[in-house]
């Protein structure tokens, strides 16, 4: 794994301030061959362990069902970012079905305020609908988008940006760029790379703003729980019980045995088992309803399932015919 990461790092600009993090399955607080190799890797790339700079309040990030624990999840940052760390800690929150705890780190970084990213693209997948009373997170449903209108409108709005790109290409010839990069002292006569960078950033931001705005116009939104068709009040109750038991166990100092420990284990197990059962049962019912609706559907692009791509529709029909002949 380290060799693969090393190859990626070596292929990048060596002036980059690197940040890596994850579940590395090695506890660097324990002296062994693997931890020694990992620390050599960190030293090679001028990386520092964040928990050495800002220690975790908890002692471990991993805890198995047998009670074994270790600190194998961590973040390492470039030494130049040492003074930019604001916080670093292990999050013990419920519900969490993993035997790992998430690690959260925050940095104070200086950004280029001359070309800020449009607020609409703070997330590519989830968007925050500030107009909603509960300020809930919603997702773009590209599978239900009006793609024809999206394509036509994007072509129309991006045409002016394309014209701007041609002007930039004519203004900054490739020969001038090459000569400037080879001799930075020519910046006064040739290209000012800082200005060119800002020009490119402006074009990039314009493209992103156009596409993001069109997405809001032509792509419907769904709430984050849209795909949880299997969720019901029973699961909500089990979740509340599991969270309450976990918080009680946590407040008591996280004992390894006793009533609170057992209550935490039982409620969490019951909640997880019920989720699996609901997904399976409701999933079968959902698929059966979809299968029945598809059998009744004609090739005309109307009906309960909405507009279906002809290629996908053909694939569905072939699959259904194959199942019926078996």
pLDDT, tens digit (0-9, with 9 covering 90-100), for 215-256: 888 888 876 665 677 888 898 899 899 989 988 988 888 888
The answer to whether residue 185 is domain-embedded is no
Burial grade of 53 (CB within 10 A; 0-12, 13-18, 19 or more)? middle
Which span out of 47-61, 167-181, 182-196 was modeled with the highest average pLDDT? 47-61
Asked whether residue 206 falls in the same domain as residue 250, the answer is no
Asked whether residue 209 falls in the same domain as residue 266, the answer is no
Tell me what pLDDT residue 119 has.
40
Asked whether residue 209 falls in the same domain as residue 263, the answer is no
The answer to whether residue 171 is domain-embedded is no
Sequence-ordered list of residues with C-beta below 8 angstroms from that of 253, at least 6 positions apart, any chain: none
Q: How many other CB atoms sit within 10 Å of the CB of residue 134? A: 6
Q: Which of 163, 158, 197, 159 is nearest to 180 (CA)?
A: 197
Q: Which of 270, 279, 284, 197 is nearest to 230 (CA)?
A: 279
Asked whether residue 238 falls in the same domain as residue 158, the answer is no
The answer to whether residue 153 is domain-embedded is yes
The answer to whether residue 200 is domain-embedded is yes
Q: Please answer whether residues 217 and 123 qualify as being in contact, where contact means their C-beta atoms are separated by less than 8 angstroms.
A: no
Asked whether residue 259 falls in the same domain as residue 310, the answer is yes
CA distances from 324 to 285, 286, 311 (A): 19, 19, 20
Cα 2 from Cα 206, distance rounded (Å) = 38
Asked whether residue 6 falls in the same domain as residue 95, the answer is yes
Q: What is the mean pLDDT of the chain?
A: 75
Residue position matching structure tokens 């990039």? 204
Tell me what pLDDT residue 56 has.
85
Asked whether residue 71 falls in the same domain as residue 151, the answer is no
Please report which confidence band the pLDDT of residue 200 belongs to, taking 50, 70 and 90 as the band edges.
Answer: confident
Checking if the pLDDT of 205 tops 50, the result is yes
The whole domain housing 261 covers 233-325
Please report which confidence band the pLDDT of residue 198 belongs to, taking 50, 70 and 90 as the band edges.
Answer: confident
**Residue that finishes a domain, picked among 63, 88, 107:** 107
Q: Please answer whether residues 211 and 154 qualify as being in contact, where contact means their C-beta atoms are separated by less than 8 angstroms.
A: yes
Asked whether residue 255 falls in the same domain as residue 318, the answer is yes
Summarised one tens digit per residue, pLDDT across range 294-303 is 777 544 444 4
Into how many domains does the chain fold?
3
Please report which confidence band the pLDDT of residue 144 belongs to, taking 50, 70 and 90 as the band edges.
Answer: confident
The answer to whether residue 216 is domain-embedded is yes
The answer to whether residue 174 is domain-embedded is no
Tell me what pLDDT residue 129 has.
39
Asked whether residue 7 falls in the same domain as residue 94, the answer is yes
What's the whole-model pTM score? 0.46
Residue position matching structure tokens 């690197």? 18
Asked whether residue 6 falls in the same domain as residue 103, the answer is yes
CATH of the domain at 13: 3.60.10.10
The answer to whether residue 168 is domain-embedded is no
The answer to whether residue 182 is domain-embedded is no
Q: CA triplet 156, 114, 107: central angle to 5 degrees?
A: 115
Summarised one tens digit per residue, pLDDT across range 271-299 is 989 988 988 888 788 777 777 777 775 44
Asked whether residue 238 falls in the same domain as residue 215, the answer is no
Asked whether residue 302 falls in the same domain as residue 280, the answer is yes
Which span out of 35-39, 89-93, 128-132 was modeled with the highest average pLDDT? 35-39
Region of 258 (left: φ > 0; alpha: ψ -120 to 50; beta: rest) is left
Cα 224 from Cα 231, distance rounded (Å) = 12
């Amino acid at each position: 794994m380290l060799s693969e990461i090393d190859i990626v790092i070596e292929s990048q600009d060596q002036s980059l301030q690197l940040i890596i993090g994850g579940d590395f399955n090695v506890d660097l607080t324990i002296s062994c061959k693997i931890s020694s190799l990992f620390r050599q890797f960190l030293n090679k790339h001028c990386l520092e362990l964040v928990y050495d700079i800002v220690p975790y309040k908890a002692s471990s990030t991993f805890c198995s069902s047998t009670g074994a624990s270790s600190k194998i999840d961590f973040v390492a940052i470039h030494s130049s970012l040492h003074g930019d760390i604001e916080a670093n800690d292990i999050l013990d929150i419920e519900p969490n079905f993993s035997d790992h705890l998430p690690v959260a780190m925050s940095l104070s970084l200086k950004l280029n305020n001359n070309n800020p990213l449009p607020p609409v693209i703070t997330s590519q997948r989830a968007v925050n609908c500030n107009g909603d009373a509960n300020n809930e997170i919603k997702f773009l449903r590209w599978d239900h988008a009006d793609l024809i209108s999206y394509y036509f409108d994007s072509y129309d709005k991006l045409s002016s940006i394309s014209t701007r790109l041609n002007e930039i290409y004519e203004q900054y010839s490739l020969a001038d760029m090459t000569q400037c990069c080879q001799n930075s002292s020519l910046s006064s006569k040739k290209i000012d790379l800082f200005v060119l960078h800002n020009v490119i950033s402006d074009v990039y931001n314009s493209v992103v703003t156009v596409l993001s705005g069109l997405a809001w116009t032509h792509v419907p939104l769904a709430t984050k729980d849209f795909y949880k068709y299997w969720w019901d009040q029973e699961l909500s109750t089990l979740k509340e019980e599991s969270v309450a038991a976990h918080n009680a166990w946590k407040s008591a100092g996280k004992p390894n045995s006793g009533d609170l420990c057992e209550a935490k284990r039982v409620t969490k197990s019951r909640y997880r088992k019920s989720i699996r059962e609901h997904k399976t049962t409701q999933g079968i019912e959902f698929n059966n309803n979809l299968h029945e609706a598809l059998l009744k559907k004609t090739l005309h692009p109307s009906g309960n399932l909405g507009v279906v791509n002809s290629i996908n529709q053909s694939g569905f029909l072939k699959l259904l015919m194959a199942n019926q002949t078996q």
